[in-house]
């Protein structure tokens, strides 16, 4: 039986979508949750829900594109519970499907800040704490966009390729410290990630081109489908899995 009994887990983007499902499912399996989100209202919602269910949870509002917020999130886990066992780098934003010729610096910096710098900064702060505790598990929310070039614009695609590199580097370098780092290559999921951009500003030419590949999506997954995979990777039952890129896309990339 999968369990996180007694483990302390940070989950970013915990206020909605996959992060919310991770917080619900991890806490149901005994984890103490440090829920992080930039949206105070969403954060308060998941914290209240878990506390009403008798779960142990701390909420931390923060922007993962800022170093001080990343370090504060990790420090909050250690301050509250004395250790850190699991880090789920789940927070992320979409781009506007722009190719590199149409891409503006503002969009590039925003996507790379949240999707790459945030996970790097959180991992950088988390690894020393995990080493102190004898090890830990890092689960990164990647994307099929990190496997090819047909799922999104240049900024998002590059960010998810970079996250795969961060995953594998971390897995290899800290394996002897008992730290595992894996990535879920996520397909189409019913979440609110598109609320992170203005849909009226999506690049029409690139979107039409990408639509050809979107038409191959077998079906949309639910947030809990991803959360259950994250639960497995976070648990000791997955102790032999390190540096893996696990496609969770209903077979979208199997063709």
The catalytic site residues sit at 156
Rounded to the nearest 10 degrees, the angle between the axes of helix 118-132 and helix 154-173 is: 20
CA–CA separation, 174 vs 86, rounded Å?
14
Q: Tell whether the torsion through CA atoms of 103, 105, 107 and 108 is positive or negative.
A: positive
CA–CA separation, 224 vs 194, rounded Å?
18
**Is 140 exposed, middle or buried, given 0-12, 13-18 or 19+ CB atoms closer than 10 A?**
buried
Using the structure block, give the residue that is written with the tokens 């890092």: 138
Element (H, E) at 183: strand 179-186
Other C-beta atoms closer than 10 Å to the C-beta of 105 total: 7
User: For residue 124, which of 82, 189, 68, 162 has the smallest C-alpha distance?
Assistant: 68
């Amino acid at each position: 039986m999968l369990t996180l009994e007694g483990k302390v887990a940070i989950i970013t983007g915990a206020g909605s979508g996959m992060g919310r499902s991770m917080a619900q499912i991890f806490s149901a399996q005994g984890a103490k949750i440090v829920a992080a989100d930039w949206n105070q209202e969403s954060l308060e919602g998941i914290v209240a829900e878990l506390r009403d269910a008798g779960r142990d949870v701390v909420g931390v509002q923060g922007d993962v594109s800022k170093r001080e917020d990343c370090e504060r999130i990790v420090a909050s886990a250690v301050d509250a519970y004395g250790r850190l066992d699991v880090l789920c780098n789940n927070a992320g934003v979409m781009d506007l499907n722009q190719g590199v010729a149409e891409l503006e610096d503002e969009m590039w910096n925003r996507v790379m800040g949240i999707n790459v710098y945030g996970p790097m900064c959180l991992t950088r702060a988390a690894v020393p704490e995990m080493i102190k505790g004898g090890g830990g598990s890092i689960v990164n929310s990647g994307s099929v966009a990190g496997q090819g070039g047909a799922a999104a614009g240049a900024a998002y695609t590059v960010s998810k390729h970079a996250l795969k590199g961060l995953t594998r580097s971390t897995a290899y370098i800290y394996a002897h410290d008992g730290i595992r780092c894996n990535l879920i290559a996520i397909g189409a999921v019913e979440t609110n990630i598109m609320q992170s951009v203005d849909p009226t500003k999506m690049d029409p030419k690139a979107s039409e081109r990408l639509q050809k590949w979107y038409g191959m999506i077998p079906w949309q997954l639910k947030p809990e489908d991803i959360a259950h995979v994250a639960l497995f990777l976070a648990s000791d039952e997955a102790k032999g899995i390190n540096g893996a890129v696990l496609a969770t896309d209903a077979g979208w990339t199997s063709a």
